Amino acid sequence: MTHSNTLLKLRKNLESRTGKAIGDYNMIEDGDTILVCVSGGKDSYTLLAMLMALQQRAPVKFRLIAMNLDQKQPGFPADILPNYFASLGIEYRIIEADTYSIVKDKIPEGKTTCSLCSRLRRGIIYKTAKELGANKIALGHHRDDMVHTLFLNLLFGGKIKAMPPKLVTDDHAHIVIRPLAYCAESDIAKFARGMEFPIIPCNLCGSQENMQRQKIREMMEDWDRRFPGRTESVLTALQSVVPSHLADNKLFDFQNLTLDTPVEEGDIAFDSPEMPISGTFPISLSS
């Protein structure tokens, strides 16, 4: 494995972004036991590498347990992850559960199977965390996943809702954390290539990414190509919400708005934002 300067720089950048997200959202505390979900894809390998590196120099002590769920998909190379975990010397569990057969049995041919598959997987992960005494569960979702989820909910779900960096599970038994929340997918992909992670293909089940998510991905890739920095900007927006300039009565009391109500951004929020336009803008901004 060659650790070129570029790869080291990339690792440093990803570690610093991961450390910042962990700090900003207080994701890890002293005494935590964290179940790290590793599927064999680039994101989860990177997640594990980041958490192991940060564990070495964190001011708090925490325990990491890597976990892989063998869903019994045809052709799943069951020896890759145990060998990889063993080579790292990390504590790990491989859980075998044939969710593949359940999904194939329940979902008609040609329909996307991901939502049932994810639900089943989630249940097994939570059960494993309980059995192992893990209070936190770390997932490998990154910045682009969060931004894409926002647009999915916005454009197809009628909701301003993304994928949070930290959340409590429905049964209030665990906290789910997403330490890669500030990491760009393209950096993770470069890092995974440089590290030569033994990637397990994610399409063994034969299912395709949901069509709407595919469209959002294409849309954001197109925007980022023509106006670089847009995905980062949307992430920043998720951290800077102005409830008085939305229209949700639950977030802001429009009913009782008076001249004395404190203003957040006032009239300046109506000004057109400055945009670094370097290409042909797809819609007219002028009124």
Site residues, ligand SF4 (CB under 6 A): 113-114, 117-118, 202, 205, 207
DSSP string, 7-18: HHHHHHHHHHHH
183 marked as part of a ligand binding site? no
Q: How far is the CB of 161 from ligand SF4 (least distance, A)?
A: 20
Which residue type is seen at 204? L
Q: How far is the CB of 202 from ligand SF4 (least distance, A)?
A: 6
- Give the Cα separation of 97 and 133 in Å (integer): 20
37 is in an annotated binding site: no
Nearer to ligand SF4, 40 or 179 (CB): 40
135, two tokens: 């209070």
- Using Cβ positions, the residue closest to ligand SF4 within the complex turns out to be 117
Nearer to ligand SF4, 80 or 202 (CB): 202
Contact between residue 160 and residue 154 where contact means Cβ atoms under 8 Å apart: yes
Whether the Cβ atoms of residue 38 and residue 81 lie closer than 8 Å to each other: yes
Task: Report the alpha-carbon distance of residue 31 to residue 64 in Å, rounded.
Answer: 11
205 is in an annotated binding site: yes
- Residues 6 or more apart in contact with residue 212 via CB below 8 angstroms: 152, 155, 156
Give least dist CB 167 to ligand SF4, A: 19
**Closer of 105 and 271 to ligand SF4 (Cβ):** 105
For ligand SF4, which is the closer residue by CB, 215 or 230? 215
Known binding residues:
114, 117, 205
Known binding residues for [4Fe-4S] cluster:
114, 117, 205
